[in-house]
Chain A
Amino acid sequence: MILPLIIFSLCALLTVGGAVALILSREPIHSALALILVMVSLAVLYLLLGAPFVAAVQIIVYAGAVMVLFVFVIMLLNMGVEEQTDFSKIAKFVGVPLGLVLIVWIAHWMFHAQAGSAMGTGATMVPSSTRELSTQLFRQYLFPFEATSILILIALLGALVMARKEE
């Protein structure tokens, strides 16, 4: 059916457009809004790929929590228009060519990968439902999961300590 293709094209366009706007806009809050757009369109793409749980979590965590904090900080500091510097020399002579090489490489890889093979294996390996996902997360990947949460807790405590240093 043609509907998924339309939604995919629209969201892909929004994702790329949002990412470009994020870099190019001079107002911090516009950049933040562009990033929210990227997050939400990515979530819709996940939904199209048959991963509704990941899509919902993507919106809750990134668009609903992380970006709210970004926007909150930008509002609190009431940041003005950013200064834009000239194109740096390193970016001009190293960054742009390397970026082009990366794009060409990915495009090459995508065109030469066997159609459907990558998606086919992915669909069987990645759990799609919430139940399967949680079973795998809390059985097979329990240690990495807990280790990650401890890591986040440490980062949180570190941020607290650094914020309270001056008292």
Chain B
Amino acid sequence: MGFISQHPVLVASIVKAAVLLFIVMTALAYLTWAERKIIAHIQSRWGPYFVGAHGLLQPLADGLKFLFKEDITPPVTDRLVYTLAPFLALSLSLTAIALIPFGPPSVLLPLVGQQAWSVTDLNIGLLLVFAITSMGVYGVALAGWSSNSKYPLMGGLRSSAQMISYEVSLTMSVVGVVLVAGTLSFNEIIQRQSGAFWHWNIFGLQHGAVPQIIGFLCYFTAAIAETNRVPFDLPEAETELVAGFHTEYSSFKFAMFFMAEYANMITVSCLATILFFGGWLSPFPSSWTWQIFLPGAGLVLLGIYCAYDTLTEMRGIARLQLAVVTLLALGGGLLCLIPAVAGVIQGPFWFTTKVLLILFFYIWMRGTLPRFRYDQLMSFGWKLLLPVSLANLVVTAFVMIWPWLRHG
């Protein structure tokens, strides 16, 4: 107790970082499951189905498989860089998530009095996230180079060029939001959008704001390219480059690249939520008091669906597994219907809902669009995306200073 009361910030930060790491790792695992399921359903397949009910234990099986596989390091690689690259990729992408606020700063932890829903609350949070994600290219580039092999090198080169090109548009498309908010702090950017959903930056229908829908489209396109996802997954285009930069990697080092990619997806989705969709704010006006029961009601509905599925579709061990999920959802839902609990979890609930919707959109794109050709990718980035995001910035700036120009 003495140590906690003497170093509240340190203790709270370490605990929050550990909890966040656990949550993010679980989310990463289930994001791979969700991706396989959604892509499968887009292509009229079932996806993972046999390991656990609805394949719910598939991520665990995959993780164990990666752990127990032989870790092969080709003899001609640059050992130091080859080992460093996956660690760099994963640690950088996980660090960026630590800067994201998942709920309002007003909710405090008991005992230490620190913010409950964010690990840190920096006044230059946005800048620091961009700083960390701009380093992300090293993981891919160095992996490609150190493998000392043709296809990985091509993948590494492609990714460096692609990430440098699209980072410019990514940053430019966000500056519009920064102009409107007048701050680089995530919590202030979010609070600036409070009201209801038409106050969010993407619609911008409030005094002193400019709609950022073009900014959002530019941001999202650039973000997909930054995270090397379809239709911009040239660095690992399997039809051309075997597996691109991670061709030579095996076992857990490969899994680390895999996790880093999904962690980056989560980061850019969180950023999009904060910058354009009001972060942890509810989409409804605050006068609608019944909305605090929505999280609980949603979970209870999920539980009822699971219960129906358990009783009608599942057999044997899968029925037991899904029954556990049902109980968890129903219990959690009922817990969230208690007004005191419901008030506390509002922020994270809306934040998570928005992030999940954006991630679904991400995966949907993968199931729908074919891959760009490399020259198309470059000319698209430099000749279309960058001018449009610059134009968005200039227009936003002019609208912002228009009253000042007119009245002097």
Question: Which residues of A are in contact with B by a Cβ distance under 8 Å?
Answer: 3, 27, 29-30, 33, 36, 40, 43, 52-53, 56-57, 59-60, 63-65, 68-69, 71-72, 74-76, 78, 129-130
Contacts and interface: CB of A to CB of B under 8 A. Distances in A.
A140 to B, nearest CB: 20
8 contacts: A43-B131, A56-B127, A57-B131, A68-B163, A69-B164, A75-B144, A129-B123, A130-B184
Given A29-B81, A29-B145, A76-B157, A60 B122 contact: no
B327 to A, nearest CB: 44
Interface stretch (B133-141, B200-208, B274-282): B133-141
Contacts, number: 81
Contacts of A29: 78, 81, 142, 145-146
Contacts of A56: 124, 127-128, 130-131
A49 to B, nearest CB: 15
A71 B141 contact: yes
Contacts of B4: none
Contact of A52 (B84, B123, B156, B164): B123
Interface residues of B, number: 31
A30 B80 contact: yes
Most buried by B among A68, A69, A74: A68
B393 to A, nearest CB: 16
A29 B144 CA distance: 12
Taking chain B's interface residues, is the majority helix, strand, or loop, or is none over half, making it mixed? helix
Interface of B: 10, 78, 80-81, 84, 122-124, 127-128, 130-132, 134-135, 137-138, 141-142, 144-146, 153, 156-157, 160-161, 163-164, 167, 184
A72 B164 contact: yes
Nearest to A75: B145
A2 to B, nearest CB: 11
Given A56-B128, A64-B134, 5 more contacts: A53-B127, A56-B130, A57-B127, A63-B134, A75-B145
A75 B157 contact: yes
B406 to A, nearest CB: 21
Most buried by A among B78, B123, B131, B163: B131
Contacts of A36: 138
A75 B160 contact: yes
Contacts of A75: 141, 144-145, 153, 156-157, 160
Given A53-B124, A60-B127, A129-B123, A72 B157 contact: yes
A155 B164 CA distance: 20
B164 A71 contact: no
Contacts of A68: 134, 137-138, 141, 160, 163-164
Contacts of A129: 123
A59 B134 contact: yes
Contacts of A40: 135
Nearest to A59: B131
A3 B161 CA distance: 39
A65 B184 CA distance: 20
A63 B128 contact: no
A143 B184 CA distance: 25
A137 to B, nearest CB: 15
